[in-house]
Amino acid sequence: MITPEYIESLPEIYKDVLGTYVMFTPPHRVGEGVAFQSLYSGLSEKYTLAEIRVACEKMAAAEVLEIRNRIFVHPTQLGSELIAAITSGKSAEVTVPDFPPIPSAANMN
């Protein structure tokens, strides 16, 4: 069971990496992967790409993440539970205006 005390005890880099998932896959779904470079784009102000990669490898060793094709990082069921606990189940809100219809030849007369 993931307790608030456990989340609090996690080193910041792990909370940051897992919390970044909602930026790329709102709402996050179990097993959806993100490339190392994408995680880095969200965390480059705090960590190097190498630090993010090593943190992900350590989480993979703990079966929180799975690394596929040496580039994509997929949360396991446990990883998804941690993401939900770290982000309080909130997704990044994405607001984009509707794409306007393209005028057809019939509408241009």
pLDDT digits (tens, 9 = 90+) for 42-64: 999 999 999 999 999 999 999 99
Q: Indicate the pTM of the whole model.
A: 0.80
Q: In this predicted structure, what is the pLDDT of residue 91?
A: 64
pLDDT tops 80 at residue 90: no
- Print the SS3 string covering the chain: CCCHHHHHHCCHHHHHHHHHHHHHCCCCCCCCCEEHHHHHHHHCCCCCHHHHHHHHHHHHHCCCEEEECCCEEEECHHHHHHHHHHCCCCCCCCCCCCCCCCCCHHHHC
Across the range 89-104, mean pLDDT stands at: 78
Q: What is the pLDDT of residue 95?
A: 77
Give all domains of the chain, ordered by start, each with its CATH number: 4-92 (1.10.10.10)
Over residues 93-102, mean pLDDT? 83
Mean pLDDT of the chain: 87
Mean pLDDT of 22-27: 71
